[in-house]
A and B are shown apart, each in its own frame.
Chain A
Amino acid sequence: MSTVAAAHDDHDHHHAPTGLKRWLFSTNHKDIGTLYLWFSFAMFLAGGFMAMIIRAELIEPGMQFVDPEFFNQMTTVHGLTMVFGAVMPGFVGLANWLIPLMIGAPDMALPRMNNWSFWILPFAFTILLSSVLLSAFGHGNPSAPNFGWTFYAPLSTKYGPASTDLFILSVHMMGISSIMGAINVIVTVFNLRAPGMTLMKMPLFVWTWLITAFLLIAVMPVLAGAVTMMLTDRHFGTSFFDAAGGGDPVLFQHVFWFFGHPEVYIMILPAFGIVSAIIPTFARKQLFGYASMVYATASIALLSFVVWAHHMFTVGMPLAGTLFFMYMTMLISVPTGVKVFNWVATMWRGSMTFELPMKWAITFVILFTCGGLSGLMLAITPVDFQYHDTYFVVAHFHYVLVSGAVFTMFAAAYYWLPKWSGMMPNKVLGELHFWNSLISVNLLFFPMHFVGLAGMPRRYADYALQFADYNFWISIGGFWFGLSQLFFLAVCLQCALKKGEKAEAKPWDGAEGLEWEVPSPAPFHTFDTPPVVK
């Protein structure tokens, strides 16, 4: 049997599969990574399109384009698509491409599971997004999920539309996919490191992903539990979240946010790893405080399990509970601060150049810090009673997720595209993408702080007149930011279609790491014999 398998491998080696089969049946970490990344980008555009509908409706007071019901469906599915379709698969795609290259492994440890965990996703999202199409072309009834991406009970249980069941099924599928992806990362990192690659020599991207993978395994089952309880509440007569049957709607929020807060770090920890790779490269100076970066990441991950209730300060928790969650939440800013200071210290007295990846990385440090600081404000419970569920919160989490997580994925793309595709990303398109995104993202999200403080609640289809001026500019920023992403699409196509300047094996002179020791583009199989790390 083993001889046959070996012969088969050998056969693959010389004739890489082509056509549809190459992608459908792929067990190659690079191909699967590519699939994940394109999928993530497609979902980013789809979710962005929904955001444009939201911003079109909010450009001035009054209902102009959609009715409030469809507006709610847009905010809901926009959030779900971005979180589960764009950000999470995007980072899994990066993990697939980079972790084996960075630790000197020939592939992910569980390649068939890798294939499965990707191919679940298109089906999960077909199920979720089909409910939107049904709604858009079905005169508003049947409705797509319309209860916000946080799907609080009883709005999503007793009062949920029929499509809630489609939503539950698709969340289950996404959860299975994420768990398998996480298992794969953990097994790969623990088993396939090249000789000499000790844990404390691993690039930070591998470290942050390892920790993220543990978070995923810990919390995705909790999400699955939450949606299963919803399902039985809806159809099998249970009352987990219904006070009339002895349940508690607030229990839903506790369960959801026990998943939801670690989820926030799932979406940002890999970003920390990416920035920790890019800044030293272009500062031409070793990362400051490698060990403290690892410990800070681990402590952020641990703390993320004891802060969930800061999302629900207004549900009427006992004073002692509220105080506990306030203190713990404030505490998270210490390790996060350590990270920011470390990046600044890495730049300090370096010899910096500002190629595209560095531009995105520095923008990340600044704008993520903005989001972190407004997060600290939100942690202060008495003031959170005013901020809670306003646009201030919307501004905060878009600063950490868009100019945080998404911007680092752009940074990663510009940094590693030469390795992935063998082509240098077009500089003119790249600069246009960067500068347009930088200006428009701030026009889009910064005024949200103002309208939020002034009292505009989130998820509002229409609003009082004092919010009108800023909302106009927010919408302009939104359309501008959305259109700017087409430059990035052009860059990706340019690299995928092999147009433009060819890349060297190591296109960045300050770059370090095993991935730069293989040719560009990285061959189908790398590190068949493990490299030796000194």
Chain B
Amino acid sequence: MIKIINAIFSILKVLLLLISFVFTFYIIIHMYQRLEKNMMDAIVNFIPFVLLFLLFSINIIFRQKSVNQCFFYNVTCCLVFVMLLFVIYRTFFDRNMVVMIRLGYDINFNYFADIIAPMRAMLYMLSLSNILLMLEGFQWHRNKKEVVSTANFDKKIIEDTKNSIM
């Protein structure tokens, strides 16, 4: 059961990352346009998303089990993205915030600006955790275990569950 839930969270985190990135990108680009700021300055806000996406891709491509099977990490990633999507929802649709009415824009930039710094911090911390989880399960050479079958005494080789590059 836990494996199924973990698999769901593992896939969900990637989807939520992509969705939250798209909306964050849209809001931040419009925010910088409105403030007439240099678009190059906006890039720093997207770096943690790109970094995390790269790490998730590595986890999937190289089947990093120490990351993919870490339930706590997957749940935390989902929680961060759910929080971010909730903030995005309020940025667009919460009409009870006076600043939104006062500024007269359809996007509450003032409110979203509050979350940018914590968002970046959390995404960087998730990236760092991802790297540490990878290192935790990393080995230069794949461990090979010799298993002796009692039935026919033939030696069989099975793979270890830890991360490796060979």
Pair from one complex: no
Measuring CB to CB, which residues of chain B are less than 8 angstroms from any residue of chain A?
A: none
- A interface, CB within 8 angstroms of B: none
